[in-house]
Amino acid sequence: MNGKDFTSTRNPCKLCAPLGASFAFRGIEGCIPLIHGSQGCSTYIRRYGISHFREPIDIASSNFTESSAIFGGGDNLKLAIENVASQYKPKAIGIASTCLSETMGENVPMYLSQYKTSVQTKADDPVIWYASTPSYRGTHMDGFFEAIYAAVTSMAGNQNFQTQKPRENTVRINLISGFVSAEDLRELHEILSSFGVDYTLIPDYSQSLDGESWEDYQKLPSGGTTIEDIARMNKAAATISFDLSAPEEKKTGAWLEKQFGIPNESLYLPVGIEQTDRFFSSLERLSNTPVPKKWKDARGRLVDAYIDGHKYCSGKRAIVFGDEEHVLSICAFLDEIGITPAIAATGAKSPRFPERLAQVVKNSRHIPLVCDDSDFESILERAKDQKIDVIIGNSKGYYLSRNLGVPLVRSGFPVHDRMGGQRILHLGYRGTISLFDQVCNALMQAKQEAAESGWTYI
């Protein structure tokens, strides 16, 4: 079977588009996601979010019923906006469509226009963004990037929002992140701050989805990219975008470049030495500031770790799966440490995925088997006749691990069968060291457990 000879998906290697949009919206300060569709869609998103982030997550819904599906959901949406605005007092409402509302042909922009003309506007009214996110034409990553694009294109340069002038003699940088962990976002904050630049990091759910314990329930936790910072992204000197897999028409950095002449650099997620070096090189050039010593020291420790652990990794073969940005960055990292990505799988349809994979996997003697638009049943069938030593991806890959009898190194989203999924550090030199240790330890443990006599020294 070639992985394409079937008419239905079995255990998909992806999640739904409104889910990605919802978490991007939760990375904006005071923004509540509103799903235009059934209650089941918002429940599905909350279930995944709560099990990964271990935080209560409110996702509003326009609550389609049978009559809504027949006569349209415009009244439901307007009522939902009123309810959300009165109960949550949000600064923004991010609306994401669903398969049902899109199939019906719901004209959400028209509904929003009607709503705005029917109510008396107030100074503290929430800003409203709309992202078209039917899952039948994309994955959670399409929804994620669509939501960022909707927020930025609505706000950047909007004259209704007065923004502070940039500090004199200070560079301002936009950083458009991928769907990474809360710990990764905190690492990006520390890296950007260390170069002494002003910056806008979007989205930023490092606190809103991974905060402190509360005495009283908070409907909208603190944290997130501020609306003011989004509005002044048009004043930046440059944009760095981790959005290679985003559709060309939804690349926010490219839009800022076209509209405001702000140079945009699209990079792979900084995992591994080469890709992290490129990220730091861009920051060094844009900020006109040398790479701080603590990052040079971290790079040195990473090189030393590669040397120490090379004998455990060399010649091993891996399955890597997840969203395209994640898979490409992990494959680049594995290529550096001597592990062949035997199978690189993603649930997205991506014509450029093989080309991008070839760019980051340069040292392996074997070309990875590319599985795009794939599911876990197909990945398993392809893996059975190959020697696989380790699997790297989210918790959904336990199905592969159990059937193939090889260890799973959990990374990406969702991680719901272990604690700390939101705190896994993937990015930068320190994140790469952490991943390297996990991979080495998984391989060492597998070797220990397979030995007739357990070794305590390997």
Q: At residue 353, what is the residue type?
A: F
φ/ψ region of 77 (left if φ > 0, alpha if ψ in -120 to 50, else beta) reads: alpha
On the question of a common fold for 17-155 and 309-450, the answer reads yes
What is the predicted pLDDT for the residue at 163? Answer: 59
- Is the pTM of the predicted complex or chain greater than 0.85? yes
**pLDDT over 70 percentage in the chain:** 95
Return mean pLDDT, the chain.
92
- pLDDT at residue 370 greater than cutoff 80: yes
* Residue 209 or residue 363, greater confidence: 209
What is the predicted pLDDT for the residue at 168? Answer: 58
What are the residue boundaries of the structural domains of the chain, listed by start? 17-155, 172-287, 309-450
Q: What is the pLDDT of residues 207-220, one digit of tens each?
A: 999 999 988 888 89
Report the run of H or E that residue 151 belongs to, with start and end: helix 140-155
Residue 222 DSSP SS3: coil
The class that CATH gives domain 309-450 is: alpha beta
Range of weakest confidence among 143-157, 234-248, 441-455: 441-455
Q: Does domain 172-287 have CATH number 3.40.50.1980?
A: yes
What is the predicted pLDDT for the residue at 438? Answer: 97
Residue 454 DSSP SS3: coil
pLDDT bucket at 5, cuts 50 / 70 / 90: low
Contact partners, residue 280, CB within 8 Å, separation at least 6: 191, 270, 291, 295
The class that CATH gives domain 17-155 is: alpha beta
Q: What is the pLDDT of residues 76-92, one digit of tens each?
A: 999 999 999 999 999 99
- pLDDT at residue 6 greater than cutoff 60: no
pLDDT bucket at 2, cuts 50 / 70 / 90: very low
From residue 358, alpha-carbon distances to 35, 278, 313, 363 in Å are 38, 17, 21, 10
- Name which of 4, 410, 346 is nearest 142 in CA terms: 346
